Amino acid sequence: MNIDQVDYDGLIPNNVALGQDVRVKRALEKWHPGYLNWWNDMGPEGFQESLVYLRTAVSVDPKGWAKFDYVRMPEYRWGVLLAPQMEGRKVNFGTHKGEPAWQDVPGEYRAMLRRLVVIQGDTEPASVEQQRYLGKTAPSLYDMRNLFQVNVEEGRHLWAMVYLLQKYFGTDGREEAEALLQRRSGDPDTPRMLGAFNEKTPDWLSFFMFTYFTDRDGKMQLEALAQSGFDPLSRTCRFMLTEEAHHMFVGETGVTRVVQRTCEAMKEAGIKDPNEIEKVRKLGVIDLPTIQKKANLHFSLTLDLFGNEISTNAANAFHAGLKGRYREERLKDDHQLESGTYPVLRLIDGKIQNQDAPALSALNMRLRDDYVVDANAGVGRWNKVIESFGIPFEIKLPHVAFHRHIGEFSSIKADVNGHLMSDEQWKKHRGDFLPTDDDKDFIESLMRPQMEIGKFASWIAPPKVGIDNKSGDFEYVKIA
């Protein structure tokens, strides 16, 4: 079989010759009904019978890998797709640098590798669960379609990790695959593994912020895992990154369109001061300070996903050649990091300051730094829109010490500029930085569905171009 092409004949589309791998094929076929039950119980509420204009991967060739068509979500062809194997690929970092990449799990790293795969896998269904109710308040059919596209692809990413568990981790892999269907986002007894995936995504602004900020953590972690010396993981993550790009596009353009609509409405009403919140809200759009608060919330929750700044887990995974740095192959050093240092922002004598730490221990910090640079780029594009209307307001990412629950700053309170605060001050000013109940109620009041073809809710501008180059009045979802 040509690796670029996906075999659609069996129950599970794949480019891994599943037909010749009877044990894994059976294991996945056995897991499949449980997955569909999970999708029906925890996937998008309603719309399961609707025809959604979705893209499905038909090849792993970066040019032209997807085809678009109307699909009922439960009939989406979730499959197992790996990027093509690279001839002669080597382990590119850590103590095994230069050895041939592993096609099987190295025995001594089995537990570490399984943990990484399970954590990655756990985030995928979690995000679908978090976004479960959003279809009902979609601001347009275009947005609804994008939501469902993101959801089915997160489902596919779960399949990607489950394939690795079933193929390479025997009985315990099978048990982990089952457990991925049992945990639930936000459940007090069986929560998802990482903090941000147990938070709510209650409205569409949160959805756009989540796909902008949190899916971008996905990008960074997948880039780091794509470096893995365990070749099947690397190939899996490389293809997932292709899909992930669309999710961040949905987030970035979603926030852009919200900002655009707010600025347009302010201009039409002759409001120049962005802090005239009540006046702006009366126009049926979301004021810029509230958009800033949502960005503060989702950015800070996402920073927690990078783990502790100083981490032996991260050091061990790098040393073992399992998880690299962001775009490891482009970095110019020895790729072993036995002796170098890296500056880590820490709390020293009550002050936030940089301190050099062994580079190997500081890998989470480094990936987080790369993330912040990447996240800042899109924020700059949001600000260009505001600037084009001449409104004196700039969206800014808060300081990394702000509102943290994991790592160095989890034990302190800091404002968005990184100034330390007492608990009292924090209580008093929390609502200046993070959405208050009033803000939430206001946003919720705007979340009225707009399901007429080609129409958009009052608080969001239409996109510049449609999906798959479709026109503005294209019926992205045929609601059943």
Burial classification of residue 424, based on how many CB atoms lie within 10 Å of its CB (0-12 exposed, 13-18 middle, 19 or more buried):
exposed
Q: Which residues of 353-362 are buried (b: 16+ CB within 10 A; e: fewer)?
A: eeeebbbbbb
Q: How far is CA 447 from CA 200, 262, 421, in A?
A: 15, 15, 34
Does residue 214 bind ligand BYC (CB under 6 A)? yes
User: Are 432 and 332 in contact, with CB atoms under 8 Å apart?
Assistant: no
Interface positions, 88-117, toward ligand BYC (CB under 6 A) = 116
Closest CA to 10 of 78, 111, 87: 78
- Which residues within the stretch 350-369 sit at the binding site for ligand BYC (CB under 6 A)? 364
Amino acid (one-letter) located at 174: R
Instruction: Name the residue nearer to ligand BYC (CB basis): 122 or 415.
Output: 122
From 17-25, 119-127, 290-298, 458-466, span contacting ligand BYC (CB under 6 A): 119-127
In the complex with ligand BYC, the residue whose CB is nearer, 123 or 296, is 123
Q: Which of 60, 181, 194, 391 binds ligand BYC (CB under 6 A)?
A: 194
Q: Which region among 36-44, 50-58, 139-147, 214-222 touches ligand BYC (by CB under 6 A)?
A: 214-222
The alpha carbon dihedral of 167, 172, 173, 174 has a sign of positive
**Window 262 to 321, contacts with ligand BYC (CB under 6 A):** 304-308, 311, 313-314
In the shown chain, the binding pattern of residues 149 to 188 toward ligand BYC, with x for contact by CB under 6 A and - for none, equals -----x----------------------------------
Alpha carbon distances (Å) from 411 to 257, 408, 414, 420: 36, 7, 10, 11
Using the rule CB under 6 A, give the single segment among 25-33, 121-129, 279-287, 378-386 that binds ligand BYC.
121-129
Token pair 């996906």 is found at 6
Nearer to ligand BYC, 313 or 355 (CB): 313
Q: Is 228 in the site for ligand BYC (CB under 6 A)?
A: no
Establish if 191 lies at the interface with ligand BYC (CB under 6 A).
Answer: no
Q: Which two tokens stand for residue 463?
A: 């996109």
Which secondary-structure segment (H or E) carries 178? helix 170-182
Q: Which is nearer to ligand BYC, 393 or 409 (CB)?
A: 409
Which residues make up the interface to ligand BYC (CB under 6 A)?
A: 116, 119-120, 123-124, 127, 154, 194-195, 214-215, 217-218, 221, 304-308, 311, 313-314, 323, 364, 406
